[in-house]
Structure 1
Amino acid sequence: MGEPTTLTAPARPAPYPLRTAYGLLRTARPRQWVKNLLVVAAPAAAGRLADPRTLLQLAAVFVLFTAASAAVYLVNDARDAEADRAHPGKRRRPVAAGEVPVPLAYAAGALLATAAVSGAALACNPMTATLITAYLLMQLAYCLRLKHVLVVDLAVVATGFLMRAMVGGVALAIPLSRWFLITTGFGALFMVAAKRYSEAVQPAGRDGRTRALLTEYTAGYLRFVWQLAAGGAVLGYCLWALEGGGAASAGTLLPWRQLSMAAFLLGVLRYAVFADRGAAGAPEDVVLRDRPLAVIGLAWLAVYAMAVTGL
């Protein structure tokens, strides 16, 4: 007789509540949360990151804005569930695939939105709650209508990035300079237009399967927008850097503000390589995976820190 056979029980799927919870987490787009790190932009520009209390409050702002953005993703996927089921890629999204019921997605989105606004009012200040409310209303309008309006869709998405960069300063009552707003606004438009351009020139984008509005744009127009925005971001940054003059300030060894222009320009040029290739469809992947861009970013951070702290 042969040796006894050991029977292995087939793997059972996770219980329904666990599958639903995991589906809700996936719908909240954890990979997109890295964008919310922009909440540190204004405090960093003001040289306020050395204070532990500031870092603690920024962590709270990050969580609140992440909740707000997750609420938008949940509502968007619930509203587009039927259309997503006919899409070759989006049909795998948890709401479209039936892992998360549509009413539950709406309810979770409403709960997160309420928590984000209430938390901002309690943990920060009324202006922070107002800004997050404005973000939610704008993004919901985008989901319902504005994503189908030429040019406005680009402006809304870019403004969402700008609001992320503003909210940290608003929460800490840090005045936002005109150069900060100009550079951040044009930089956001640069990345958004580059993303749309990449989607338009890819095979999946030419027949409108990725975004219906892409059939209304031409690749040449989107290229013009991201090039114009890149120039505006560089010009705004250079005007900020040159505002302090061309010499080192008292107590500093070198004119760090002016020297930071070189790293900033290199970063824009490096990102533009991917935009020009049509490979900037996922900005977070470009920023996190390209080593030369990461090195340039670290160099810029070091020189900018010297400029802000006056070393």
Structure 2
Amino acid sequence: MRPKQWMKNVLLAVAPLAAGVILEPGVIVEVVFAIVAFCLTSSGGYILNDLLDIESDRVHPTKRFRPIPSGEFPARAAWPVAIALLVIPSAVAFIVGYPLFAAVLLTYVVVQVSYCIWLKHQPVIDIIVVASGFVLRAIAGAAVVGVPVTQWFLLVISSGSLFMVAGKRYSEKVRSAGSEELHTRRTLDLYSVGYLRFIWTVAATLTMLSYAMWAFDLNGGTSIGSIASIVPFGVALLLYAFDVERGEASAPEEVVLRDPKLFICAALWALLFLMSVLARLYGWELPTP
């Protein structure tokens, strides 16, 4: 079920936070419900992926120790668990009165199943599909609380997701250079290092520009906190790109935790962003020159 990957589902809180509704009555409960639903659903996708890759994982130097390929979690028990986790959360969401969120979650399920069965073997498409999972998380967070998303928000999330996924593939390619046994991704052998660098460079540029436009657009360009947050955001982006270039971003969920400078920049950005949201809610903002 890969609990470490559940960190990605914090993205569901971004839209409610940016919209300034996270502290309204009942919203936090809705966001937590959505995060739990995505944790369970994504876990079903991970189990399905391991079931379909069981033979190749058994000959992989590290993946062979995972519960399913190692036999610790028998396939006959894993199949019904995977199906239940993929189906039940979206069904419950629909029954309890969140049809739009259920639709987004079901879309995620269709995309994940398609990825596990076929799309992960299609070059370029595999990167886009993985990145779409982050975008769907952000949209789901907006859907569950009923807030709209702006074009800049979608651009930041989309380009940032593409940057992270392409950077992950780039790091995997660099680390596995000269040894195809270090990975089981068929598409990775089709990519060149230069092409993957091109993708994450373009995505990083678009992410920075989109975030800057979003920050200036918030509250009509008078939010000092959001504008100031561009600096730590940009520095964090450059630090992460440095890790990508060195081939150390094959596990994005661990990069921030092991890099103190990146962690500090991320924390500073989060603080400034939160301050800008609170200032917008309570009218604390001073006009920009």
What's the TM-score once normalised by structure 2's chain length? 0.91
Compared CA separation, residues 208 and 165, structure 1 to 2 (3 A): farther
1:165 aligns with 2:129: no
- Structure with a larger share of its residues in helix: 2
Letter of the aligned partner of 1:128 in structure 2? F
Q: How far apart are 1:295 and its partner, in Å?
A: 1.3
Q: How far apart are 1:71 and its partner, in Å?
A: 0.6
Q: Give the match for residue 12 of structure 1.
A: none
What secondary structure is seen at the aligned counterpart in 1 of 2:229? helix
Q: Is the 8 A contact 2:216 2:222 kept in 1?
A: no
Q: How far apart are 1:256 and its partner, in Å?
A: 2.1
Kindly report which structure 2 residues correspond to 1:55-94, keeping only aligned pairs within 5 A, or say none: 55-94=28-67
1:221 aligns with 2:195: yes
Compared CA separation, residues 246 and 132, structure 1 to 2 (3 A): closer
Q: How far apart are 1:42 and its partner, in Å?
A: 0.6
Q: Give the match for residue 34 of structure 1.
A: 7
Letter of the aligned partner of 2:81 in structure 1? A
Matches of 1:172 and 1:151 in 2, distance apart?
Answer: 33
CA RMSD across the alignment: 1.7
Unaligned runs of at least 5 residues, structure 2: 285-289
Letter of the aligned partner of 2:199 in structure 1? V
Identity %: 39
Q: Give the match for residue 15 of structure 1.
A: none
Pairs aligned (count) = 279
Matches of 2:124 and 2:227 in 1, distance apart?
Answer: 34
Letter of the aligned partner of 1:242 in structure 2? F
Matches of 2:221 and 2:140 in 1, distance apart?
Answer: 33
Unaligned runs of at least 5 residues, structure 1: 1-27, 250-254
Q: Is the 8 A contact 1:200 1:206 kept in 2?
A: no
Q: Is the 8 A contact 1:206 1:214 kept in 2?
A: no
Letter of the aligned partner of 2:191 in structure 1? Y
1:256 aligns with 2:263: no
Matches of 1:185 and 1:78 in 2, distance apart?
Answer: 29
What secondary structure is seen at the aligned counterpart in 2 of 1:95? helix
CA deviation string 1:284-308 (max 9, x = no partner): 1012222211211121122212322
Rg larger in structure? 1
Matches of 1:141 and 1:205 in 2, distance apart?
Answer: 30
What secondary structure is seen at the aligned counterpart in 1 of 2:68? coil
Q: Which has the higher contact order (CA 8 A, sep 6+)?
A: 2
Moved more, 77-86 or 58-67: 77-86
Which of residues 88, 91, 100 is equivalent to 1:115? 88
Q: Is the 8 A contact 1:199 1:205 kept in 2?
A: no
Matches of 1:208 and 1:180 in 2, distance apart?
Answer: 39
What's the TM-score once normalised by structure 1's chain length? 0.85
Letter of the aligned partner of 2:58 in structure 1? R
Q: Give the match for residue 153 of structure 2.
A: 180
Which of residues 235, 238, 261 is equivalent to 1:292? 261
Which of residues 99, 102, 118 is equivalent to 1:129? 102
Runs of 4+ with deviation above 6 angstroms: none
What secondary structure is seen at the aligned counterpart in 2 of 1:243? helix
